[in-house]
Amino acid sequence: MRKHVLVRNIALLFLGISVLGMGSCKKEVTQVVNQGFSAIYTIKGTDWQVNSASTYINVELNVKELDQVIVDHGGVTVYLSFDGGKSWENTPEVVQNVAYGSYHYLNTVGIDISPADNTGTVTPPMNQSGQLVDILAKVVLLDAQPLD
């Protein structure tokens, strides 16, 4: 009878230790978080390239972080600031009959300016005195993975 009680107590002791050991185990989930990245570029008034008919102008920014994964599955958003970063306009945008747009490909983000109604010509951004001005471009890269 003593032997039976001793075996039962030892079995209960191991069962209790096992329950405590299993209770301290936890499941860890590793989650991949896709990121958004941004950088601000200064576009000088002299950086703009004008096509031969002056119907549009553009500038291309070297964005080495814009890799093929982002081109294929992510996103690129461009904002422009004409007041030193106090306010931002999202492209595409039309301001005073001037259309501002953006495009991208591997390592490059382009910004273009054209007449909103496709008539007339455009010039790089200027101040009220007719002098070329620098503007800021905020480029936001959104990294993503394709849906299954």
Is the residue at 30 inside a domain?
A: no
Binned at pLDDT 50, 70 and 90, residue 3 comes out as low
Residue 97 located in a structural domain: yes
* Residue 89: pLDDT over 70: yes
Cα 32 to Cα 59: distance, rounded to the nearest angstrom: 35
pLDDT on residue 53: 76
* Rounded-to-integer distance, Cα 10 and Cα 33, Å: 48
Q: Which two tokens stand for residue 139?
A: 């480029």
Assigned token pair, 134: 């620098």
Structural domain includes residue 70 = yes
Q: How many domains does the chain have?
A: 1
Indicate if the pLDDT at residue 10 is higher than 90.
no
Give domain status of residue 110, yes or no.
yes
**What is the enclosing helix (H) or strand (E) of 70?**
helix 68-73
- Domain of 55, in residue numbers: 36-142
What span, in angstroms and rounded, lies between the C-alpha atoms of 108 and 145? 20
pLDDT score at 122: 87
User: What's the pLDDT at 21?
Assistant: 60
Within-domain flag for 23: no
Residue 17 domain-assigned (yes or no):
no
CA dist 33 and 20 (Å) reads 33
Greater confidence, 101 or 7? Answer: 101
More confident residue, 57 or 144: 57
Whether omega for the bond prior to residue 146 falls within 30 degrees of 0, making it cis, is no
Q: Is the residue at 148 inside a domain?
A: no
Start-to-end Cα distance in the chain: 64
Average pLDDT, the chain: 85
Residue 141 and residue 35: Cα distance in Å, rounded?
8
Torsion of CA 49, 136, 107, 34, to 10 degrees: -160
